[in-house]
Chain A
Amino acid sequence: MSSIWVFVQEENGAPSTLGLELLTKARGLGETTAIFLGDANDENLATLGAYGAATVLHADTGDQLPSAPLAAAIAAKAESDEPDVILFGQAYTDRDVAGRLAARLGVGVLSNAADLRITAAGVETDHEIFGGTKIATASLDSKPSLVLIRPKSFPAEPGEALTPASEALGLPDVGSSAARIAETHVEEREGPQLSDAAVVVSGGRGLGSPEAYELVEQLGKKLKAATGATRAIVDAGWVPYAKQVGQTGKTVKPDVYIAAGISGAMQHLVGMKDSKTIIAINKDPDAPIFSVADLGIVGDVHKVLPKLIEALESR
């Protein structure tokens, strides 16, 4: 039986949804161990067990940036326990730990996977490329094989409740690789959150100006939706990074996604094209966003959105 390790980070006091998605997948592939970055209290251990972890290796890096000490600790443990596969999410700290770990162990890593299968020599993974129009299948023959999986590739579902064995990972002193987290800032959050909202309204360059993003906010409020944005307007400084949907930002799969003034660059499509229903408003009839839209409106967002908001107000 294959031995699968899964990196799970604590988020708001509990194992992250992304981590639970990966555990759900992993328990169908082999004997599953969670590498848990966070507080290994009874409740968190019970959650990790419920999603399939037979063993929990835990560490709390405190105010140290986790990547270097955690990669060193996992590498030491992996050299003695020899897991077949180590899964990470395509997420900030996951990428940092996986990158350092792969270099330390001298093994390959496959990024942006949407699915994986265990093979005799390692793993085989599927990747959406060219904005999701093609599926590339890649193979990695190394032990362990490291795979980074995009969020929302699998549902997070509890299974048979296991009581995991728990063990603290020893964190070595990483000397010249050390970095310290001096402050943590949470940006203002109100209303539904992007990753779990049933409806998402996003805006892009076609809005024309940062002020016009207010239309997106107003429509979002009317539909009790989370609001998102393309990389272009995040880079332009119109809205904060936390709102970015796409390859570099968040992956969303809401019931309804409304794209306002978004052309549909590959980078954006990857993050939202699996939404159940997509509505797009763009004045360019050839915009790529229309190829994934269930309802495409060829028109000016500055005309369509105010009318839509007004019509919703009068309901």
Chain B
Amino acid sequence: MKVVVCVKQIPDPATPYTLEEGTNWLIRPTEQVLDDGDRYGVEMGLQIAQANEGTVTLVSMGPAGNNQGVRQALAMGADKAVLIDDSELRGSDALTTARVLASAIKEEGFDLVIAGTESTDGYSGVVPQMISELLDVPALTYATKVDVGDGTVSIHRQTNDGYEVVEASLPAVVAVTAGVVEPRYPTFKGIMDAKKKPVENKTLADLGVEASAAQNVVSIESAPERSGGQKIDDDGEAHLAIISLLENRKVL
């Protein structure tokens, strides 16, 4: 079984994000990390591939930098990676991203595509669904549990007040939520092996996709700040301050 997992390298969320003057694009340092939400997709892909004598190929779009983020996913156990890095893709929108990824996935061939529900730096939250449409396969989204059977896939799809069991035939796209599985930590051997695994670089021309430019960031302004509140150290009586505020707000 051919499992393709979409992953994204993002600036470390623990560092403050900065925007480029003029374009307002996110500045991406050479060293980026694997989006934490993607670790779940990689783990799910590895487990499914293992149970079905399959392989896991990573597909990623964005500035390669030193490939640190992709290597993290390879160190978990993925077999290889395809990375689409092209200066034309800077500031690209969700649809361009989906077209690039779908095209790379089609070239690789797939039985199952796994993606996260949304990236931690962009949050558009529609790329897996777009990929599904472009590949003409079902989009099984917000998966909190995934089971692959003989040519079929079944998931628990998160809803506002519970979940649905959704079934489809393979090939399919599954978008997983964090928590669908417990991601493994790379072993020392995994980290060493990852350095030797193939990372194939592709450009837009290789895939025959054109970047769209319908979408722009017009301006960035500071949001009106909340008026500064009161901060007190708990001296054992801080709960009284809470009660007094709750009374003031007529909750009590």
Contacts and interface: CB of A to CB of B under 8 A. Distances in A.
Interface of A: 11, 65, 67-68, 71, 90-92, 95-96, 98-104, 106-112, 122, 124, 128-130, 132-142, 148, 175-187, 189, 198-199, 223, 231, 234-237, 241-242, 247-248, 255-256, 258, 267, 273, 276-279, 281, 285, 290-300, 303-304, 307-308, 311-312, 315
Nearest to A175: B136
Given A176-B136, A183-B164, A223-B251, A279 B220 contact: no
B128 interface: yes
Contact of B214 (A111, A134, A140, A183): A140
A235 B117 CA distance: 13
Which of A109, A112, A132 has the largest number of chain B CB atoms within 10 A? A109
Contacts of B225: 133
B162 A187 contact: yes
B185 interface: no
A247 B123 contact: yes
B192 interface: no
A178 B153 CA distance: 12
A112 B221 contact: no
Contacts of B56: none
Nearest to A91: B160
Contact of B216 (A138, A175, A182, A300): A138
Interface of B is mostly: mixed
Interface residues of B, number: 80
Contacts of A67: 129, 132, 139, 141
Interface string B175-215: 00111000000000000000000000000000000001011
Interface of B: 17, 24, 93-95, 98-99, 117-118, 120, 123-134, 136-142, 144, 154, 157-169, 171-172, 177-179, 212, 214-223, 225-226, 229-234, 236, 238-243, 245-246, 249, 251-252
Given A133-B223, A137-B218, A299-B238, A99 B138 contact: no
B215 A111 contact: no
A236 to B, nearest CB: 8
Contacts of B157: 65, 92, 181
A267 B150 CA distance: 38
Nearest to A68: B138
Contact of A295 (B124, B131, B241): B241
